Amino acid sequence: MLYLYLLIFTLFVPLLLTWDKKVKFYTQLKSLAFSIFIVSLIFIIWDVFFTKYGVWGFNNYYLLGVSFFKLPIEEILFFVVVPYACVFIHDTLNTYWPIRDSKINKKVFIVLLVILNVWLVTIYSKEAYYTTSVTISLFVTIILLLPLKSNDLAALFRSYFIVLVPFLFVNSVLTGFFTETPIVWYNDANNLGIRIGTIPLEDFIYNFSLIVPVILVRDMFLKKKRMYLDNNKD
């Protein structure tokens, strides 16, 4: 049950501090739930297909043994727990250390992402299904980022790079850095074969393409909620 214990570890602190009076994370749980459902559903469908075709898979030794569509329940919970924890970190950073005057031009962020996207396209292999899919997901994420103001974009990137700290630990556990065999295994024929420790390079883009849309969709719901409340004031 190592995978389940890892999810509990990931969720413990964010859940414990959800009712922090300054962050007030509890006030937006409904909007967050909708955004996690919408974005994670896409990733779960993606996960189901890649599991079916052997792009990656799971070691039953570390699992509860409960599956849906041949996807372990822990893997499905991953798409709830990880976005929840990452959005909590993002909001906590923005509450205690807001970015009000970003010195970095918005175009720099976008250009760097586009360069990464182009690089992934140039090394395209018809067998590298994971690489191809994260290239597409990154392209979609870049489009979603275009309307953002520089401060918001800088805040997102700051959150992502800070999230990389727990991400490296969690994904290292999942990919077998601390165990004889991995909880989640990858078929290197379907990716670049480049690993940071035991983590495939594509996982870093995968994580970015999961977390950023969840935050953006959540913010969209919150904005609509505020507009509705403002329009219905007495």
Q: Is the pLDDT of residue 120 over 70?
A: no
Reference 131, options 186, 81, 184; nearest CA is: 186
Distance CA 224, CA 127 (A): 42
Helix (H/G/I), strand (E/B), else coil: 232 = coil
pLDDT tens, residue by residue, 7-64: 999 999 999 999 999 999 999 999 999 999 999 999 999 999 999 999 999 999 999 9
Tokens of 196: 């940071």
Domain count, the chain: 1
pLDDT tens, residue by residue, 177-231: 999 999 999 999 999 889 999 999 999 999 999 999 999 999 999 888 777 666 7
Domain that holds residue 74: 2-231
| Residue 211 DSSP class | H
**Whether 71 contacts 48, CB under 8 Å:** yes
Q: Is the pLDDT of residue 109 over 60?
A: yes
79 vs 1, more confident: 79
